Structure formats: C-alpha cells, structure tokens
Amino acid sequence: MSIVIHHNSACGTSRNVLEMIRAAGEEPIVIEYLTEGWTRAQLLALFAAADLTPRQALRTSKSPAEELGLLDENVSDEALLDAMLEHPVLVNRPIVCSPKGVKLCRPSEKVLPLLSGEIGAFTKEDGEIIK
C-alpha cells in the first residue's frame, strides 16, 4: 500500500507534510482534493480511519465555515458533511493514509508515525527544525 496525501498545494502545512513524506523515501499518491472534491463515502471512511468527527475535521479558519453558519455546535454531522461535499476547502488538511494508519497531519509532525523511513533533520517552511 502506498502513502496517500489529501493535499492542498496552497497550504504550507500540507507542503511540509508532502516534503516530509518524500524525505522519508516515499513518493506518495497526491490527491488535490480542492479540484477533485470528495464523496460522502470517502469522507466517512477517512474520518472513521482517523478517528475524527466531521466537526473535528472542519476547517474553521480561511474557509467559508463561519459564513455558512457551520460553527454553531448544533449543526449536525450530516449538515457538515453536506457542506464539505459542496465546499471541499471545509475539510482540514492534509489527511495522510499509510500502511501505519490515517491522520489529519496538523501540525505537520503528526505525519512522522505514519512513515517507514527516517526524515533526518527537516526544516519546515517557517524555519522550524524537526529532528
């Protein structure tokens, strides 16, 4: 099984995770979810595998979540899923799938337990060094 990253190339965290995967000697399958979108089954499977609820996976900053009224705690999981299908940017990123598990990798270091190889010293885009 290959590593899969649900990636947004405009996101620094997502870019860092992609480069950390490559630094570990893997060439992942990159899914640009903003252009490809999601299916309900795909989101449900990813969230179940990562032990996330739709609310935990909701991107609240730099997304239309507030304007769509999704920050209210009374919004159901079904309504959140419907909104995520219509607006893929509402799903927080990156989500990485590997033989070792599935995780929402924010911060980017959360990808480390999913990798088979070592990344050595890695400098993130903001200058932070991961060892």
Q: Which residues contact 74 (CB under 8 A, 6 or more apart)?
A: none
Residue 25 makes CB contacts below 8 A (sequence gap 6+) with 116, 117
For residue 112, pLDDT beyond 80:
yes
pLDDT tens-digit map of 70-100: 999 999 999 999 999 999 999 999 999 999 9
∠ CA 79-11-45, rounded to 5°:
40
* 11 flagged as catalytic: yes
pLDDT per position as a tens digit, 53-65: 999 999 998 899 9
Using alpha carbons, select from 69, 55, 58, 47 the residue that is nearest to residue 92: 58
Is pTM beyond 0.75 here?
A: yes
Q: pLDDT value at position 1?
A: 66
Structure tokens at 58: 């909701």
**pLDDT confidence of residue 11:** 92
Exactly one of 3, 11, 81, 83 is catalytic; which is it?
Answer: 11
The pLDDT assigned to 120 comes to 83
Mutual angle of helices 77-86 and 40-49, in 10-degree steps: 120
Domains in the chain, please, with CATH?
4-130 (3.40.30.10)
The angle subtended at Cα 109 by Cα 52 and Cα 21, nearest 5°, is 95
Q: Given this model, what pLDDT does residue 117 score? A: 85
Token pair, residue 38, equals 């999601």
